[in-house]
Structure 1
Amino acid sequence: MPAFVRKGAPALLGAGTLCAALLLTGCAHPEPSAPTPPPASAAAKPSAGNAEATDARPAAPPRIPGLGPLTQARVPDGTTQAVVVTGATENSNTAVVTLHQRAPGGRWYEAGGPWPAHNALKGWTNDHTAGDLRTPIGVYRVGDAGGRLPDPGARLPYDEDPEFAISGTGFLGESLEGSFDYVIAIDYNRVPGRTPLDKERPLGAGKGGGVWIHVDHGGPTQACVALGRDDLRTLLVALDPAAEPVVVMGPARELSR
């Protein structure tokens, strides 16, 4: 097996804080012979007509379109790229994939897609187990890629390996050949920083693994997310390890929480 060629180390997740400044205003007084500082309670009160200047409420934090506050809170502060995979319902096996980028000012914007996709045959789950035919819901890091075909220009570490070859048929009788020509590993029950072919399962074999974004074969998957070949190549080239990319995936109702 060819050695796993790493072109860059995975970025560390960062943390940040949002602060708001409290603007205090005073009132004009005739100049006294001996100035007396106002009481602390008076200094904290906004003057009439200047409420806007003394509003200490922080601005609402920027949010990725389609994500609710609970889901957004799971996206690391240092992340500036997010692949959002949205299913229509808990049991749907088709989805829409969109790449979002965070601007320097903190606002998120659409940088790729939307692209049609497939997910697991039976839909989604918050408690994935091996063989349940559901895709795990959550926010997961993506930092490693590979495939049967040569590196198309990815910035993520890319492992070209003939072991990515696959045969057989899918749930609709479609051919699976070429499905792993390009893959992006989702960090669900795997060791980050290794080839997607790595078989170690930190949570145990019973929790499944090998959850990838791979080439769409025209039907539902076992647990992965599948994108059209050209769309996947576009996504693979766009992802930047310096942006600490993640995938946020699940049914729309779950992601909106």
Structure 2
Amino acid sequence: MPSVGIPQVDGILDTLAGNGSSKPGTTASDTGQMIVVTAPKASDPTATLTAFEKGADKSWKPVFGPTKAFLGSLGMGEPKDNVYRTPEGTFALDQAFGRQANPGTKMPYFQATRQDWWDSNMKSPTYNTHVRQANSPGGDSENLYDAGPVYDYAVNIAHNPQRTPGKASAMFLHVTNGEPTQGCVAIDRDVMRKILAWLDPAKHPKITIGVNAAAPTGDGPSTTAPSGTTPKTPTTPSLPGVSDILGDKGLSDLLTQLVNLIPTLLGTK
């Protein structure tokens, strides 16, 4: 990790951290971990992921990536139930889980069994939450064990904390199977495991997902972790996120600046 930060990077990440969904009672300054996911176009099903941590000197430094990520098959934008699109904006990361034992994360974590479901039934009172019961809650609810190795390690992207039916449920950062997702962000298994071990709820981690016209494809070598490895998209997401406050162009401009600065931050330019 570089020993010093770059003021421009710090300003961009502080701006991203200060927007979007947060836990009640937290502020921008409370966020000390940021995961940034960018794609060249909103319709792209592949993206690049880089993770950053804020140090004691208040500067942000990369800790994982850049590495390849998969998005929904329709890219990113306004998420809806039964539409394979990844939410655009900045969101808190909260509940972690997996079919495997806790890899050492400090996040709230449960090991999934065949009685663990993510409720995607829009008529259910527990819509868009984890439930533990013998039978499916109905609708398109997912069994978190039967979904297979993609859920060996995962963390919830809290894009719909109000649990509004129809605004999409079960959006996770999880292990990739090498294909676009149904709306989640998916990355290499080893990177996912390391990210879970790194995440710390005391640092109020967030993820920003957005368009960056200058973004790389994600096929380049990772600096700190191994690389993992149509479509109409609305231009304005309806969910609370950084793009609602900055506007889509504002979010894209920030992400373009950030990606252009990453090589300098890593000392590769």
Calculate the TM-score normalised by the size of structure 1: 0.63
Correspondence for 1:256 among 244, 253, 256: 253
| Residue correspondence of structure 1 range 141-220 to structure 2 within 5 A | 141-163=92-114, 164-167=144-147, 177-190=148-161, 202-220=162-180
Deviations 1:29-82 (A, max 9, x none): xxxxxxxxxxxxxxxxxxxxxxxxxxxxxxx975459x5886454272211110
Distance 2:204 2:66 in 1: 21
1:153-181: CA deviation from partner (whole Å, max 9, x where unpaired):
111011102132235xxxxxxxxx31111
Q: Which amino acid aligns with 1:93?
A: P
CA contact (8 A) 1:184 1:213 kept: yes
**Structure 2: gaps (5+ residues):** 1-5, 21-27, 115-143, 214-250, 255-269
Displacement of 1:111: 1.1
- Find the partner of 1:105 among 42, 49, 57: 57
5+ long unaligned stretches in structure 1: 1-59, 168-176, 191-201
Cα displacement (A) at 1:121: 0.3
Q: Give the drift of 1:256.
A: 2.7
**What one-letter code is carried by the residue in structure 2 that aligns with 1:158?**
Y
The structure carrying a bigger helix percent of its residues is: 2
Q: Does 1:74 align with 2:45?
A: no
The one-letter amino acid of 1:87's match is A
Structure 1 runs of 4+ aligned residues shifted over 6 Å read: none
- The CA deviation at 1:106 is 2.0
Equivalent position of 1:87 in the other structure:
39
When the two structures are aligned, how many residues end up with a matched partner? 176
Residue 82 of structure 1 aligns to a residue whose secondary structure is strand
Distance 1:86 1:64, change over 3 A: farther
* Structure 2 counterpart of 1:226, one-letter code: A
State the shift of 1:132 in Å: 2.2
Question: Does 2:112 match 1:124?
Answer: no
Q: What are the superposed Cα offsets for residues 124-158 of structure 1, whole Å, 9 maximum, x if unpaired? A: 10x32112211111111112200111111111011
Aligned-pair distance for 1:105?
2.2
Q: What's the RMSD between the two structures over aligned residues? A: 2.3
Q: Give 1 or 2 for the bigger CA radius of gyration.
A: 1
What letter matches 2:151 in structure 1?
F
Could you tell me how far apart the structure 2 residues matched to 1:203 and 1:156 are?
21
CA distance in 2, matches of 1:183, 1:72: 21
Matched-pair contact (CA < 8 Å) for 1:166–1:179: no
**CA–CA distance in 2 between the matches of 1:156 and 1:72?**
18
- Could you tell me how far apart the structure 1 residues matched to 2:105 and 2:173 are? 14
Instruction: Work out whether residues 17 and 34 of structure 2, in 8 Å CA contact, stay in contact via their aligned partners in 1.
Output: no
- Residue identity in the other structure for 1:74: N
Contact in 2 for aligned 1:71/1:255 (Cα 8 Å) = no
